Chain A
Amino acid sequence: MALKQKDLLTIRALPAEEITLILDTAESMKEIASRDIKKVPALRGKTVINLFYEASTRTRTSFEIAGKWLSADVINISTPASSVAKGESLLDTGRTLQAMHPDVVVIRHAAAGAPQILAEAMSASVINAGDGAHEHPTQALLDLFTIRERFGRLSGLKAAIVGDIAHSRVARSNLHGMRKVGMEVRLCAPATLLPRHAEALGAAVTTKMEEAIRDVDIIMMLRIQQERMESGLLPSLREYSRLFGLTVERLKRAKEGVLIMHPGPMNRGVEIAPEVADGPYSIILDQVTNGVAVRMALLFLLTGGQPAAAA
């Protein structure tokens, strides 16, 4: 089996069967991490370029390890140190890279839609590693994988996503992904951080933390950024933390067996208490481990075989 599109740009456009295929393949990939020799020759001779216009620890390292464990050649471009600093456009960067025949380009960019522009200009497979506030599909896939691994299933589970929903690509991708696999989603944020017409997204929306986390199987906390205070959307981080932070007290009122997730990096003490982040209900580090497996699965599925002919 292969993925029908040559690129992975959004969860929104990804059929549910392909989500399942990616998660199933990731299960096989995960086993490689426990080997002594973490290398399989599947992508030998393939070239993967990480083109990151924004800072990243997890995503970039994850893609680099994923490529290397599959024996691919991985190149990391951090744009501040590249010709982009001299003013080279996205399209020119894409054409320049294409002239060196990469097989996959992984791009993180501040502008929504940038990966699509690149995908149309390049014959390499393009993976969206986060475009502005739009989508972060590989994050959603690794989140779904982690949930499925813990609960043994996805359909019928309830998840609450709490944080700066309006500016969160993680929230958007997860929302699309969770709905496609039959999960129920609740979004929670102060009104200033909720997108307008949030209900149209297909999730229950609330501004009350207690309401959000009642009876859910998963609580996903998102990072609150300093910038939101500076643009007047939040009075103070302290107030946000008091009303929306996941504290040990609040956690007590959640369902038995609830699991806590966070895409990272965390602001300990702001959106999540350190005791919760490091506690027994947290699967935050599992998310990171699974990120490598899921990205390996994606690289494998995107570079193998021929994509189905365009309809």
Chain B
Amino acid sequence: MREKTQILDGPGISRALTRIAHEVLERNKGTDGVVLVGLRSRGIELARRLSRNIKEIEGVEVPVGALDVTLYRDDLGKVGVQPVVRKTEIPFTVDQKKVVLVDDVLYTGRTIRAAMDSLMDLGRPRLIQLAVLVDRGHRELPVRADYVGKNVPTSQQEQVQVLLEEEDGVDRVVILEPEPSASARRAAEGQER
């Protein structure tokens, strides 16, 4: 895979998260009962940033939890290699809470389905909303995000990669495309001449 184009830079990510924080407060009429639950690694960092934004806007600290959905995936045993299970750390009850799930990229919707099943096993949320930094389309299940940083149309062969300072050293979102095959490259060269 190689980089096709950058769709969000550092400031772009920051503005999107600021807007999403405002939208979460608007939709939920404040912070009462609201908790943020980030998915796997990058969703957790995004949830933390959202919590910080909300603190700046309303002065209230919204709790953040980390959810690992590996054990709820619908493709266990079917993928070639077993995914690594990380810890779920949600140090508060989700009963009666307005849970905002936070993830970096929304694609087929299967991860969110797994996340909801996992949340239901942990308690009975009052409602579940979904915030994603990027929605790349191609849903395979009836799942939709309540808060979207950016809508990015992509093809199935492409990948959307979110890089965050804490984990990757830089804040940016890029679209990756497959390396062209040798014959495609030759054809491209032929065209140039």
A binding-site residues for B, Cβ under 8 Å? 1-2, 24-25, 27-29, 31, 35-37, 39-42, 70, 300-301, 303-306
Q: Is there an interface contact between B82 and A1, defined as CB atoms closer than 8 Å? A: yes
Residues of B within 8 A of A305 (CB): 77, 79-82
- Whether, in the assembled complex, B152 has its beta carbon less than 8 Å from a beta carbon of chain A, the answer is no
Bound-state CA distance A20–B79 (Å) is 22
Report the minimal beta-carbon distance from B114 to chain A, rounded to whole angstroms: 9
Instruction: Determine the distance from Cα of A39 to Cα of B87 in the docked complex, in whole angstroms.
Output: 15
Kindly state the separation between the CA atoms of A40 and B123 in the bound complex, as whole angstroms: 13
Bound-state Cα–Cα, A41 to B121, Å: 10
- The answer, among A1, A24, A40, A303, for a CB contact under 8 Å with B71, is A40
From the candidates B68, B79, B117, B122, name the one contacting A41 in the complex (CB within 8 A). Answer: B117
Q: How large is the interface on B (under 10, 10 to 19, 20 to 34, 35 or more residues)?
A: 20 to 34
Return chain A residues, CB-CB under 8 Å to B89.
31
Known A25-B85, A27-B87; contact A35-B80, beta-carbon cutoff 8 A: no
What residues of chain B lie closer than 8 Å to A70, measured between beta carbons? Answer: 71
The reply to whether B81 and A28 form a contact with Cβ atoms under 8 Å apart is no
Chain A residue with the shortest CB-CB distance to B120: A37
Chain B neighbourhood of A303, CB < 8 A: 77
Chain B CB within 10 Å, residue with most, of A25, A301, A304 = A304
- A306 touches which one: B80, B87, B88, B117 (CB < 8 A)? B80
Q: Specify the chain A residue showing the minimal Cβ separation from B74.
A: A41
6 contacts between A and B (CB under 8 A): A27-B87, A35-B121, A36-B123, A40-B121, A42-B76, A300-B82
Identity of the chain B residue whose Cβ is nearest the Cβ of A40 in the assembled complex = B71
Q: How far is the CA of A150 from the CA of B8 in the complex (A)?
A: 44
Closest chain A residue, CB of each to CB of B93: A36
Residues of A within 8 A of B82 (CB): 1-2, 300-301, 304-305
Residue B86 is within 8 A (CB to CB) of chain A in the complex: yes
- For residue B84, CB closer than 8 A to chain A, the reply is yes
How far apart sit A301 and B121, CA to CA, in the bound complex (Å)?
22
Query: Which B residues lie at the A interface, using CB under 8 A?
Result: 68, 70-72, 76-77, 79-82, 84-89, 117-118, 121-123
Which one of B77, B87, B118, B122 lies within 8 Å of A304 (CB-CB)? B77
Q: Provided the pairs A35-B121, A306-B80 are in contact, do residues A41 and B85 lie with their beta carbons within 8 angstroms?
A: no
Partner of A28, one of B77, B85, B118, B121: B85
Interface pair A28/B123, CB less than 8 Å apart:
no
- Residues from chain A with Cβ under 8 Å of B77 in the complex: 303-305
Question: Would you call A2 and B81 a contact (CB within 8 A)?
Answer: yes
Q: Give the 10 A-B CB pairs with smallest separation, nearest first.
A: A304-B82, A40-B71, A42-B71, A28-B85, A305-B82, A2-B82, A37-B121, A28-B87, A305-B81, A304-B77
Is B122 touching A28 in the complex (CB atoms < 8 A)? no
Please indicate which of the listed interface residues B71, B81, B117, B122 has the most CB atoms of chain A within 10 Å of its own CB: B71
> How far apart sit A221 and B76, CA to CA, in the bound complex (Å)?
39
Interface centre among B80, B121, B122 (most CB of A within 10 A): B121
Bound-state CA distance A185–B68 (Å) is: 36
Of all chain B residues, the one with the shortest Cβ separation from A301 is B82
Flag if A40 contacts B122 (CB, 8 Å): no
What chain B residues lie within 8 Å of A306 (beta carbons)? 80-81
Q: Check if B80 sits within 8 Å of A41, measured CB to CB.
A: no
**Does the CB pair B72–A40 fall under 8 Å?**
yes
The residues of A that contact B87 with a CB separation of less than 8 Å are 27-28, 31
Chain B hits for A2, CB < 8 A: 81-82
B71 touches A41 (CB 8 A): yes
Knowing A1-B82, A42-B76, A304-B76 touch, does A37 contact B122 (C-beta < 8 A)? yes
Residues B85 and A29 in contact, CB atoms below 8 Å apart: yes
Q: State the Cβ distance, A184 to closest chain B Cβ, in Å.
A: 30
Interface pair B81/A1, CB less than 8 Å apart: yes
